[in-house]
Structure 1
């Protein structure tokens, strides 16, 4: 599933393609025909990321809400538009570009109240300037759940996914199984600051880079990580422990991550 940097990068890339333009909205697949007809021909007034959610605002007050889930993707290209590739749920056409959305987990048109309800249940997004880290800290400091589980709860902190969770906690020397209510405030500050830093790098590089002072790799996705899916800790050469937290793979070094 795309982590928050991917959605913020999509918003950044698509704004000059779609924003402040009257859009032709289609559903080549047919599954979103009613929603497409509702916003077809309206001007897109803005594109915003809220954690892993992308929101396209329209002049009539409606918003297109997209959550890619595990298999969704964006495809963007300059006009003239080619035939849709695969099951395209939504096609948006501006004066210059076409943006296709394939296979999203969620694709819906929301009115103002619906959008407010959506954003109200999303935790503070580490990449948004209006994020309030105190809201996340309040939830974490009162919870008996592990910090590893809480960081993946998008109602607590938005944008952090599976890779960033393992990487941030390793970088800060924090045991992912430590309960939230045992995390000192200064440790939470380090987590938040590092999340802002690393996801910001992810937006700029358009990939996950958590190793200091390196550029993207030549692999397919260009990722550069310290311990995620690795066997040996780069700091102490101990074996990396792989386990599950909340049904997702987690990685930690038992020597480097002993407390908060």
Structure 2
């Protein structure tokens, strides 16, 4: 599932390509046809994201709320791609550019009041200037749930997914099953600051890089990582490979329905980690 840096990058691109312009809107698949008729020919005012939610604003207090889910894709490019009626849920086009949405978890037409309700239910998003880290801390330090589960809870850390979760826990040497209430305040503050630093780089570069300079391919002479997710990472999808810091094979286990990755030596059982 795309993490927050993907939806924020899409919001920026949609605003840059279509913001302030009347657009053509269609739903070749037909599942968004009634809403598309209302939006066709109106001005797309801009787009924004919170966590994994994408909101595209149109004039007249009309907002398209998109959640890509596990298989959804929103592709933006030249307006010369053939229409695929069986899969194309939504097409926005103007000035030779089109945005094609396929396979989203949902695509709904809502009002600004409904959007405000979604924002209120979402946790603070490290990529937003209005994020209030205190809201996340209030839930973490009271919780008996594992920090590895809490970091995937979108009502606590909006936009954080499996990659950022695994990498941030490694960078802070935290064992994933440590209860949230055992995480010290200075460690939480460091985790949050790390997200605020790393996630904008993901927006900028369209990939997640978490490896520090001493452990990069350039510094160590190792081959660059080859993975469809891109980016240099410490543990994510590196099960069985040597830890880039200590050489211990990276571990993997099913955890709350997702694969979890960690280094048993750098993140020993019970480790509460500490600030970077």
Superposition TM-score, scaled by structure 1 size: 0.94
Q: Which runs of 5 or more residues in structure 2 are unaligned? A: 218-223
Q: Report the equivalent of 1:96.
A: 96
Corresponding residue for 1:259?
272
Given that residues 15 and 45 in structure 2 are in contact (C-alpha distance below 8 angstroms), is that contact kept between their aligned partners in structure 1? Answer: no
**What RMSD over aligned residues (CA atoms) do the two structures have, in Å?**
1.7
The yes-or-no answer on 1:248 pairing with 2:258 is: yes
Count of paired positions: 259
Partner of 2:8: 8
| In 1, Cα distance between equivalents of 2:253 and 2:197 | 26
- What's the offset of the Cα at 1:245? 2.1
Q: In structure 2, what is the Cα distance between the partners aligned to 1:166 and 1:6?
A: 17
Counterpart pick for 1:233 among 222, 232, 243: 243
Hey, what's the Cα distance between the residues in 1 that align with 2:44 and 2:201?
28
How far 1:244 sits from its partner (Å)? 2.2
CA distance in 1, matches of 2:83, 2:117: 32
- Taking the TM superposition and a 5 Å limit, the aligned residue runs for 1:111-130 are 111-130=111-130
Task: Give me the whole-angstrom Cα distance separating, in 2, the residues matched to 1:35 and 1:248.
Answer: 35
The aligned counterpart of 2:58 is 58
* Unmatched 5+ stretches in structure 1: none
Give the SS at the match of 2:212. Answer: coil
Q: Can you list the C-alpha shifts for 1:174-232, whole angstroms capped at 9, x where unaligned?
A: 11111111111101011111112221111111011111235985654432111112222
Number of the residue aligned with 1:182? 182
Deviations along 1:40-82, whole A, 9 cap, x unmatched? Answer: 2221112001111110011101110001111111121224x33
Deviation, 1:254, is 2.2
Superposition misfits of 4+ residues, deviation over 3 angstroms = 213-221
Tell me which moved more, 233-242 or 103-112.
233-242
Is the 8 Å Cα contact of residues 21 and 95 (structure 1) preserved in structure 2? Answer: no
CA distance in 1, matches of 2:118, 2:34: 21
Q: TM-score, normalised by structure 2?
A: 0.89
- The answer to whether the aligner puts 1:71 opposite 2:71 as a matched pair is yes
Tell me whether 100-109 or 11-20 shows the greater mean CA deviation.
11-20
Moved more, 216-225 or 115-124: 216-225
